[in-house]
Amino acid sequence: MNLVLQNVWWALVLIGVMILIHELGHYWAARFFDVKVETFSFGFGPRLFGFKKGETDFRIAAIFFGGYVKMAGEQPGDETANDPRGFLAKPRWQRLIIAFAGPAMNIVLAVAIITGLFMVRFPKVPSVPSPMVGYVVADSAAAKAGIKEGDRIVQIEDTANPTWDDIAMKEMASAGHPLSVWIQRGNERKHVTVTPVLEPKTGVGVAGWGEENKVEVASAPADKPAAKGGLEQGDILTSVNGQPIYSTQKILDAIAQSGGKMLQISYLRNGHTGTASITPVMSNGDGGPDRWVIGAFLSPRFELVSLSFPQAVVESVRYNAKSATLIYQFLRGIVERRMSPKSLEGPIGIARLSGAAARQGPSAYLDLTAMVSLNLAIFNLLPIPILDGGVILLLLVEMFMRRDLSLKVKETVFKLGFVFLMAVLYNDISKLAG
């Protein structure tokens, strides 16, 4: 229960920031064009408390997951529909900017957060062209295709010299669809076909391979087996029971299959090699199933990035542009039925991710905040009724037709939008229920 409360708390903080920034975009744009703003609400439903400043009621409402800015004359049937300062009284191009301002602020927030993180040595996993395969799951799609540890992926589909991000995106968006893959094995170049399988819980394609990377001990509490056996934070793990380690999953599998028997783990520390004898213990500390652990947090060795402000801005824009492309490919995969809608995260999923990120530290939480902000911007720009993208689409249609759509058509469109949002929430609940 304590874990659930933590998740809810950190989700409220994260979503609260998203709502505030998003609605401030609409509010500032509306005020810039002299549109009367009647209500600025944090949340939906009954008003709990707030204050009135000028002509605007700033309020906190009962249902926190959301918010809105209520402008005068926003709907044709409103009492203030004929107000010269009403939303509908303004030119369509001004209304379009007001609708776009909310998502635009979320994009600005994402860029600002990542800029700040890059300026304070934000850790990121280096991704190099034509990555090496460091791990292959037994009986997986990759294994059946003949992929082996140490193979270098030089092309996947039409993408030559791919990064691991490129490979992961192709994999996730291609459940049940064969992927043409070229690998380099020593001096030999081979062509194989990998067909990812749909992972029911997440709704994405899985090939069963992993990138080669150095495995680092991110933390090793003194009272746990890893530290007692001689491992320290910053150690680079090189082998377990004589088997080379090329990925975190490799050693996690060795621990899981140990049966509690002692493991001989070799490591590299400050240029010197050493060996630690560690006996795994059984643990279910996170409420999950019982499993063997050594009491250390293992992660790929991070490349620390420290940039000046101008460089950080450039890299942040590039990073967010790449993320936006991945989001678009996710959505395209869902539309083309190559991915399941279960790959989408709604409010419940965001709550779970928020709590986990907060427990990892400020950098992880801020990184998640930037990701959610960018996702919210793109999601809101989709041409779906009730979202900002739906409003923008209707305005573009009216600008093309040079006349307003009928009230009946608009009401039908917004009802469809409400059904869509309920479907997203149902998808979220169904994932939680397994």
What's the sign of the alpha-carbon dihedral 349, 352, 358, 363? negative
What's the sign of the alpha-carbon dihedral 46, 109, 383, 36? positive
130 exposure class (CB count in 10 Å sphere: 0-12, 13-18, 19+): middle
Check if the beta carbon of residue 239 is closer than 8 Å to that of residue 267: no
Q: For residue 175, what are the contacts with CB-CB under 8 A and spacing of at least 6? A: 196, 197, 198, 199, 204, 205, 206, 338, 339, 340
CB neighbourhood size of 240 (10 A) = 20
The two most distant CA atoms of the chain are separated, in Å, by 80
Check if the beta carbon of residue 56 is closer than 8 Å to that of residue 39: yes
Burial 105-127 (b: 16+ CB within 10 A, else e): bbbebbbebbbebbbeebbeeeb
DSSP string over 74-113: -STTSTTTT-TTSGGGS-HHHHHHHHHHHHHHHHHHHHHH
Active site residue: 23, 211, 212, 315, which one? 23
Residue with tokens 């990064």: 163
Check if the beta carbon of residue 276 is closer than 8 Å to that of residue 265: yes
- CA distances (Å), 69 to each of 59, 327, 405, 418, in order? 10, 27, 22, 18
| Among candidate residues 357, 356, 379, 342, the one with its CA nearest the CA of residue 206 | 342
Q: Tell me the two tokens of residue 321.
A: 């542009």
Residue with tokens 């540890």: 149
Let me know the angle formed at the C-alpha of 151 by 147 and 152, rounded to the nearest 5 degrees. Answer: 125
Q: Tell me the two tokens of residue 34.
A: 């002299």
Annotated catalytic, 55? no
Which residues are annotated as catalytic?
Answer: 23
